[in-house]
Every structure is written in C-alpha cells, then in structure tokens.
Amino acid sequence: MALSLKTYQTQALKVLESFYIDCRVRDAKIAFESAVDYEYNYVDRLVGVPCVCLRVPTGGGKTLIAAHSIAVAADHYINTNAPVVLWLVPSDMIRQQTLKALADVTHPYRQAVMQRYGDRIKVCDLESLQTINPNDVGKSCLIVVTTTQAFNVSKTGQRNVYAFFEELSELEVR
C-alpha cells in the first residue's frame, strides 16, 4: 500500500497540477506568476518547457512528491499514458538510492508511480539505458535516473548521456 501524502504534499501537487494545466493554455511565465503568491522572477531556462521548483523543507518528502509528480505532469501537461522521465539527482549516492527505491515494488516511491502506471514502469540509469526495450517506449512509464553532473562535461563523447542509440532512433517522441 502506498504511503499517504501529508496535506502540504497534496497541496504542492495540486499547485503543480494547476500550473501545468495553465501552461497548456498560456505562457509558462504567466502560469508561474499566477501560481505563486510572492514575487519571484521566472527564468525560462529551457525555452518552451515549463520550469518550476517545488520548495519543501528537509525531511518534507521531496522524493515522494517527485514520484507523484510524474503522473501530474504526464496527465496535465504532456497528456500521455507513457511518459519518459529524466530524474536528476545531485550525487551518485542519491542516484543509487533512488534507483534502488524505484526498482523495489514495496518502496513508497515505486508504489507512488505504480498508482498511475501499475506494472508498466521501466527504471534505469544512463549506463543501462540500452536495456530499455524500444517497444516499451510509448507503452510504459520510463524513468532514467542520473546525476546533474552527467550533463556537465566539456568532452561530450566521454559521457553515455550523449551516446546515440540507434534502436530508439525511429520511435515517435511525444
């Protein structure tokens, strides 16, 4: 049985849901400004892709909220039953812990994702991305867990994140 969310976690997800719904009909900056009740400069780092951060104190269940937010983004922004998720973490230790938790069907993080996708979940890191069956794309929730450092390199040929996987080249991206 999935871990029950606390009231503030549920409220954070509701605000995220409203933000994504609003982003579908108007500019992300405007949606962001109407979602927050304090002055904050919206930074459009990925042009055309909504950028938002949910602030939760230490021990507040950020990873659990993140697990629940997959379905929120998939349902209310990109409108898909099979999202591809890039789950970024700050360190290799947290990457390993997150991979282990998301692979364990008894763990609350995995159960949060299972509430929406059942057994249609595939989890991997960049090094094992080739283990994803191309037939799973568009049919399963695919979660790729990696560190932010995986993208921070000057010689891109040395990192798997920049590798080309021919098996995935003909798949439709939604």
What is the three-class DSSP state of 169?
Answer: coil
Under 8 Å between Cβ of 64 and 47:
no
pLDDT of residue 117: 97
Number of domains making up the chain: 2
The answer to whether the CB of 50 falls within 8 A of the CB of 28 is yes
For residue 169, what pLDDT is reported? 52
Q: Residue 64 domain-assigned?
A: no
Strand order in the sheet with 84-89: 84-89, 141-147, 121-125
Q: What string of DSSP letters covers 82-143?
A: S-EEEEEESSHHHHHHHHHHHH-TTSHHHHHHHHHHTT-EEEEEGGGGGGS-GGGTTTSEEE
**Predicted structure pTM score:** 0.82
Same domain, residue pair 51 and 110: no
pLDDT at 159 exceeding the cut of 60 = no
> Do 53 and 101 have their domain in common?
no
Q: Are residues 115 and 46 in the same domain?
A: no
Instruction: Give the pLDDT of residue 20.
Output: 92
Q: Can you give the pLDDT at residue 174?
A: 45
* pLDDT reported for residue 57: 84
Domain hosting 42: range is 1-59
